[in-house]
Copies of this chain bind each other. A is one copy, B any other.
C-alpha cells in the first residue's frame, strides 16, 4: 500500500456534485458522492447491495440516493432505507464514508470511519479570510501520487519543465534548505535581486507594481500528511525585505496542491492558487487560473513518462540528492503512516 487510508483527502469540489451524484475512486475505494436535500454531502460505496449496480448513476431523493437500476433507496449511512414492494431490513449494509464540506472542497476519509475526526482536517487560513482570493482546477494523472510529492517538494524542475512561465536559471543555482518538524516538512529557497519570469511579471502588473525591476523571489514548500502541499511563493521589489516586505511592495501567493491517490498508479491532482493582493479582481483570478493550468499541465507528461519508466525498472534505486530532500522526508512520513495502519500493529 502506498498511501494511508485513515486520513482526510480532497475528493471533489462542490460543483462536481451539485447537479447529480459523482462516482469517483479514492484510495482504491469506489465511492458515490452526493448532496442530500438537507444540503449535507454524503458518500457511500458505489455498489448497490441488490445487484451491484453503480449507485452514482442514480439520483438523489430527500437525503438518500436512489439506485437507477431498480429503485433501491440507499441511506447516507450505507443502510438500505426502502425498495418498492420489498422488506429491506435484512439487506447487507454497504460502507459509508465520513465526508465533510469545508474550505470549498469535499473531504473524504476512506479508512476506518470511527477514527475520522473533522477537527483534523488541514486548516486553510486563506479559504476563510476575505483578504484572500482563490482559483484552481483538477487534473487526472497516471502516476503514483508520490511522484507528485517529489515534484512539488523540489521546485528545481521549474527551470526545466516550466522554462517559459515560472522557471528561471537562478532557481537551480540556488541551494535549498529542508527541515522536518513533526509531520511537517519544509523546503525553502530564496533568490535575491533577480529578474522575475513571465508569470511573476504578470502578477506584479496585476498588483500595480513595475515588472521591469529586479526582485527578491521566494519559494517555501510545506508538506503535511497525507499529501497536501502548500507552497508560499512570491516576489518583492528588490531590497524591500523580500518575503517580509510590506504588502504594497510585493506579490504573494500560496500554491495549493491536494494530491489524492485514485489507485496505486493514478491520482487526482487538485491544484490552485490563493493570493492576498487585488482579491476582488475576478478577471485576475481567471487569468492566474488559466496560466497556472497551463504550467501544471506541463508536469503531467513528465510524470506519466517517469511512472512508465519506473514500472519497467522496479529494481532500480533512484538517487536522493539534497534537492530531493523535501520529497524524501515527506515519503518517510507517508511510509510511517502507512506502516501504522498495517495489521501487525499491536498498540496505537
Contacts and interface: CB of A to CB of B under 8 A. Distances in A.
A173 B51 contact: no
Interface string A61-83: 00000111111000000000001
Interface string A143-163: 000000010001011011100
Contact of A53 (B154, B159, B305): B305
A151 to B, nearest CB: 8
Interface string A95-132: 00000000000000000000000000000000000000
A85 B175 CA distance: 7
Residue of A156, A318, A319 with most partner-chain B CB within 10 A: A319
A45 B227 CA distance: 32
Interface stretch (A244-252, A306-314, A337-345): A306-314
A318 B161 contact: no
Interface in A37-55: 46-47, 49-54
Interface range, A side: 35 or more
Nearest to A49: B319
B319 A54 contact: no
Interface string A316-348: 101101111000000000000000000000000
Contacts of A324: 51
A265 interface: no
Given A53-B305, A84-B173, A85-B172, 20 more contacts: A30-B309, A30-B312, A47-B309, A49-B319, A50-B318, A53-B309, A54-B305, A54-B306, A54-B308, A68-B161, A69-B161, A69-B306, A70-B172, A71-B172, A83-B321, A85-B175, A85-B322, A85-B323, A86-B321, A91-B319
